[in-house]
Amino acid sequence: MKTNSTMSKITNKIFKERRNRLLNMVSDGIFILPGMHSTKRNNDVDYEFRQNSSFWYFSGFEEPDAVMILDSKSKNQYTMFVNPYDPDMAIWVGARSGIKGIEKNFCADKGTSIEKLKEKLFEITEQHECIYYAFGDDPIIDPLITEILIERRMSSERRNKNPIQIKDPNPLINEMRLIKTKEEINLIQTAVDITEKGFLKAMEATQDGKNEFEIQAILEYEFRINGAKRNGYPSIVASGKNTCTLHYIENDSILKNSELLLIDAGAEFNYYTADITRTWPINGVFTKAQRAIYEIVLEAQKKSIEIIKPGIPISSVHQKALEIIIQGLIDLKILKDTKKNVIENKEYIKYFMHGTSHWLGLDVHDVGNYNQNNKSTLLKPGMTFTVEPGIYFGENIKNISTKYKNIGIRIEDNILVTNSGHKILSNNIPKEIVDIEKILK
pLDDT cut 70: percent of the chain above it: 97
Residue 129 and residue 225 in one domain? no
**pLDDT score recorded for residue 5:** 41
Condensed to tens digits (0 to 9), the pLDDT of residues 119-152 reads: 999 888 888 889 999 999 899 999 999 998 888 8
DSSP H helical segments within 67-181, as ranges? Answer: 87-93, 98-105, 117-125, 141-155, 170-178
Q: Cβ contacts of residue 49 below 8 Å, gap of 6+?
A: 36, 38, 62, 64
Q: What is the mean pLDDT of the chain?
A: 94
pLDDT at residue 2 is higher than 60: no
Question: Which pTM was predicted?
Answer: 0.95
**pLDDT score recorded for residue 164:** 84
Residue 162 and residue 194 in one domain? no
Q: What sign results for the dihedral spanned by CA atoms 338, 344, 350, 352?
A: positive
Does 383 fall in a domain? yes
Does 7 fall in a domain? no
Q: Tell me, what DSSP letter sits at residue 89?
A: H
Residue 386 and residue 277 in one domain? yes
Does 318 fall in a domain? yes
Condensed to tens digits (0 to 9), the pLDDT of residues 94-116 reads: 999 999 999 999 999 999 999 99
Residue 169 and residue 187 in one domain? no
**pLDDT score recorded for residue 395:** 92
Does 5 fall in a domain? no
The one-letter amino acid code at 111 reads G
Strand bridging mode 272-273 / 267-269: antiparallel
Say which residue, 365 or 128, is predicted with more confidence: 365
Q: How distant is the alpha carbon of residue 440 from its chain centre?
A: 30
* Catalytic sites, residue numbers: 44, 247, 264, 275, 354, 358, 365, 388, 392, 410, 412
For residue 211, list its beta bridge partners: 254
Residue 154 and residue 293 in one domain? no
pLDDT at residue 160 is higher than 50: yes
- The whole-number average pLDDT for the span 164-193 is 97
- The whole-number average pLDDT for the span 34-59 is 95
pLDDT at residue 179 is higher than 90: yes
Residue 425 near residue 413 (C-beta atoms within 8 A): yes
The count of other CB atoms within 10 Å of the CB of residue 63 is 20
Residue 255 and residue 168 in one domain? no
Residue 301 and residue 425 in one domain? yes
Residue 145 and residue 267 in one domain? no
- The whole-number average pLDDT for the span 241-256 is 98
Condensed to tens digits (0 to 9), the pLDDT of residues 20-39 reads: 999 999 988 899 999 999 99
**pLDDT score recorded for residue 156:** 65
**pLDDT score recorded for residue 128:** 87
Residue 273 and residue 125 in one domain? no
Does 317 fall in a domain? yes
Of 154, 176, 198, which residue sits at a domain end? 176
Longest Cα–Cα distance in the chain = 81
**pLDDT score recorded for residue 59:** 98
Report the alpha-carbon distance of residue 162 to residue 150 in Å, rounded: 13
Condensed to tens digits (0 to 9), the pLDDT of residues 258-297 reads: 999 999 999 999 999 999 999 999 999 999 999 999 999 9
Residue 343 and residue 225 in one domain? yes
| Number of folded domains that form the chain | 2
Residue 292 and residue 152 in one domain? no
Does 413 fall in a domain? yes
Does 137 fall in a domain? yes
**Range(s) of the domain holding residue 161:** 12-176
- For residue 42, give the CATH number of its domain: 3.40.350.10
Residue 429 near residue 265 (C-beta atoms within 8 A): no
- For residue 244, give the CATH number of its domain: 3.90.230.10
Of 176, 198, 224, which residue sits at a domain end? 176
Torsion angle of the four alpha carbons 431, 434, 439, 441, in this order, in degrees rounded to the nearest 10: 140
- The whole-number average pLDDT for the span 45-60 is 96
pLDDT at residue 6 is higher than 50: no
Of 176, 211, 238, which residue sits at a domain end? 176
332 exposed, middle or buried (CB, 10 Å; 0-12, 13-18, 19+)? middle
Does 214 fall in a domain? yes
Residue 207 and residue 234 in one domain? yes
Strand bridging mode 422-424 / 67-71: unpaired
